[in-house]
Amino acid sequence: MHNILNIMAKNKILLLPKTRRILETVGENIKLARLRRKLSAEQVAERANIARATLHSIEKGAETVSIGAYLMVMVVLGLEKDFLLLAKDDELGRKLQDAQLPNRERAPRK
């Protein structure tokens, strides 16, 4: 058991401050959405089938909570379509892909 705890400690997620702020903003937005809907934390946690403590962690932007739990809370709040916007517009990826396209040579004229 001790070895398992050491492995888990070594795999701890370390986020840069900018990345941490992104998660904190997501958590704050989720909390504001819950409050606008006048739903208690207990109601949302129960409907999302997660513990109240997990919802609290989500609303704080915890990096240790699974993305599935974040999604379930968003479903409960009716925000699942927002989840589909993640990585939707991969402008950098498209530019990189286009840069690697081979130049096509023209067919010789007859």
Residue 57 lies in a domain: yes
> Could you tell me what percent of the chain has a pLDDT over 70?
85
Question: The domain spanning residue 77 has which CATH number?
Answer: 1.10.260.40
Contact, 42 vs 60, CB < 8 A? no
- Kindly report the pTM of this predicted structure: 0.75
Query: Does the residue 106 lie in any domain?
Result: no
Q: Inform me whether the pLDDT recorded for 3 exceeds 60.
A: no
In a domain, 25, yes or no: yes
Q: Has residue 105 been placed in a domain?
A: no
Average pLDDT, the chain: 88
Residues spanned by the domain of 76: 2-99
Residue 69, pLDDT above cutoff 80: yes
Contact 76, 48 (CB under 8 A): yes
**Taking residues 61-71, what's their average pLDDT?**
96
Whether residue 107 is contained in a domain is answered as no
Q: Rounded to an integer, what distance in angstroms lies between the CA atom of residue 73 and that of residue 82?
A: 12
pLDDT of residue 31: 98
Residue 98, pLDDT > 90, answer no
Q: Terminal CA-to-CA distance of the chain, rounded, Å? A: 76
In a domain, 110, yes or no: no
Kindly state whether residue 80 falls inside one of the protein's structural domains: yes
Count of domains observed in the chain:
1
C-alpha 99/C-alpha 81 separation (Å) is: 31
In a domain, 104, yes or no: no
Whose CA is closest to 27, among 70, 72, 79, 91?
70
